[in-house]
Amino acid sequence: MMLSVTFGIYLLSLIAIGVYFYFQDDATLPREYLIADRNVGPWPMAFSQIASMASGWTFFAWVGIGFTLGFFGFWWAFITVALYILLYRYLAPKFRRQSEELDSITMVDHLSRFYEARGSEMASVIRLIGGITVLVFLTAYVGAQIIAVGDAADIGLGIDYTTAIVVGGVAVALYTGLGGFNASVWTDFLQGILMVFLAFALPVALIANIGGWGTFASRATTEYPNLVSLSAGLGTVDLITLMAIFGTFAIAAIGQPHSLVRFQAIESERVISKAMVIAMFISATRMTMPLLIGVSARVLYETAEALPAANPENAAMFAIVDLFPAWLAGILLAGVVSAILSTSDSMLLLLTSDAIRLYEKYINPDASQQRKVVLSRLLVATVALFGVVIAFFRPGTLFDIILFAFVGLGVALGLPLVLLLFWDRMTAEGVVAGLVVGLGSNIVHAFWIATDLYPIFTWPVTIVAILGVCLVTGGEREVTQPAGATPED
Amino acid sequence: MLAQAMLFGLPALTVLAFLLVWSLLLVAYVLYRIDMERADGYISIFGWRGE
């Protein structure tokens, strides 16, 4: 009972944040609703950027990897955290600056407006195909998050799965729909703090229950030598294959629109460096500590059969309920659900942002600001409902759905954006090629061809398509800067 | 030799990999300090701003 009360208070506090921003006057403006008028400080920006990436992955799938493969995951952790340094130092400043010049509010909007400003007729095609791409991958992603909410509430609170996915869907739709980007950022900030707390508290409790660090290290090394080895006991070919799969998975961080929109919204290019340090702390935490949770849970519980549904991905949830008093378990459970909801709300906003731009472009160019905000809120509710439906039917495992959506976004959106920012010969046709081939190759590779090696091949196929089309269609792009523009502007 | 070594009761390479991930936080902080002192907070390459 106490556990449910604590968790209920957490959900209500999220909705309260949404209601607070709903009553702020400025929230009637779409840009305020969608990217907080580019006025987000480094702390909420960094916390929300990483929290929006955490998803059900961190405390379910990543803990499961720790439970089954152990500290092998440090390879992937290093690639991911190092990639964030590159994203913050090289992509973020240029993206932020260009985004303000173009007045773009999402990745798709950016790709389209960039070529629209240069008079390309392909800009509308980019917006349409980009919108479809986002719709396909983010809806699947939202569905995966709601599945995770259902599992979390089912295992942690004993709530029926169907009820849990409906409650989770309604909560996230309410606070995102009411408060928009501001609510998303500030709830992500709160959720990020809870996640960090959980990431440190849970391994401490697990190791204390095992008998302290010495006992844990001794038992892990002797009873589970593969778990504490960087090679996970795999042969060379398997190791290289697995590293290639994990590596191509990690690189997809370059194309997550719900995460990169934080770069568009940050208050100034001058605070990106500071935000990077904060983001590195949270990122290193979320990439290393869940592995420790997984390994220590394996030592404590010994086998997956001891976990709900005999699923290693449920280790963290089970340990929370098993090891902590009810009131604290409720708070920690909120930390797990936080990782999920913070991703979902960001995705919902992104989807509606691109849908609103499509509405303006093709249906009602003269729509009032108020009408667009109302429409945004209706869309948030609709997509959340669709996510609940996906969660109800569970078309695949959590890992499969997230892998598909994450890589799909990275390939189809990330590659065109990176090339647009850093390669002068990138053309509008090249962006379209990236979107089409990225979307198509991802689906074909995931479901039909070389599925065991997914997502290794979707990257080179898409890169070759983009480069080929650009070389055929383009001369050198004219580099334009609005008169008087400075990096700070 | 290092492959067999132990650190804090775990294989040394594993512990070093963990520390390597966290050392990126230190790298980020050093770069941030350089940005603050030499480039007025802007992202820079050791104080030099490309554009």
Give the rounded percent of residues in chain A with a pLDDT score beyond 90: 47
Which of A23-27, A322-326, A414-418 holds the top average pLDDT? A414-418
- Mean pLDDT, residues A7-32 taken together: 70
Among chain B, residues having any CB pair with chain A shorter than 8 Å are: 6, 8-11, 13-14, 17-18, 20-22, 24-25, 27-29, 31-32, 35-36, 40-43, 49, 51
Contacts of A77 (CB under 8 A, 6+ apart): A284, A287, A288, A291, B21
Confidence of residue A1 (pLDDT cuts 50, 70, 90): low
Contacts of A113 (CB under 8 A, 6+ apart): A102, A103, A104, A123
CA-to-CA distance for A434 and A128, rounded, in angstroms? 13
Here the tokens at position A266 are 């940050």
Instruction: Catalogue the E-assigned strands of chain B.
Output: 6-7, 10-11
CA-to-CA distance for A79 and A252, rounded, in angstroms? 11
Which of A90, A273, A288, A488 best tests the B interface by mutation, with the highest count of B CBs <10 A?
A273
pLDDT at residue A243 greater than cutoff 50: yes
Distances (CA, A) of B7 to A271, A288, A345, B2, B13: 38, 17, 42, 10, 8
CA-to-CA distance for A311 and B44, rounded, in angstroms? 46
Handedness of CA A137, A131, A91, A454 (dihedral sign): positive
A74 and B18 within 8 Å at the Cβ level: the answer is: yes
Q: Annotate A184-243 with DSSP letters as a single string.
A: HHHHHHHHHHHHHHHHHHHHHHHHHHHTSHHHHHHHHHHH-TTTTSTTTT--HHHHHHHH
pLDDT given at position A489: 39
A89 Cβ under 8 Å from any chain B Cβ: yes
pLDDT digits (tens, 9 = 90+) for A161-209: 888 888 877 877 777 777 777 777 777 777 788 888 999 999 999 999 9
Strands B10-11 and B6-7: antiparallel
Which chain A residue is nearest to residue B24, measuring alpha carbons? A82
A89 and B20 within 8 Å at the Cβ level: the answer is: no
Mean pLDDT of chain A: 86
- Mean pLDDT, residues A99-116 taken together: 93
Here the tokens at position A147 are 């599945």
Handedness of CA A453, A455, A460, A466 (dihedral sign): positive
Global pTM reads: 0.87
CB pairs under 8 A between A and B: 92
A288 and B22 within 8 Å at the Cβ level: the answer is: yes
pLDDT at residue A352 greater than cutoff 60: yes
Chain A contacts of B20, Cβ < 8 Å? 74, 78
- Mean pLDDT, residues A288-304 taken together: 96
Chain B contacts of A217, Cβ < 8 Å? 8-10
Phi and psi at A450, nearest 5°, equal: 50, 45
Which chain B residue is nearest to residue A226, measuring alpha carbons? B11
A61 Cβ under 8 Å from any chain B Cβ: no
pLDDT given at position A485: 45
Which H/E stretch holds residue A432? helix A428-447
B43 and A284 within 8 Å at the Cβ level: the answer is: no
- Chain A 320-359, residues with CB within 8 Å of chain B CB atoms: none
CA-to-CA distance for A76 and A96, rounded, in angstroms? 27
**What type of residue sits at position A408?**
G
B42 and A93 within 8 Å at the Cβ level: the answer is: yes
Here the tokens at position A146 are 């709601």
CB of A40 within 8 A of CB of A262? yes
A224 Cβ under 8 Å from any chain B Cβ: no
Here the tokens at position A160 are 């029926």
Write the DSSP symbol of residue B7.
E
Distances (CA, A) of A487 to A102, A268, A274, A320: 14, 9, 17, 47
pLDDT at residue A483 greater than cutoff 50: no
Distances (CA, A) of A75 to A54, A174, A226: 18, 38, 15
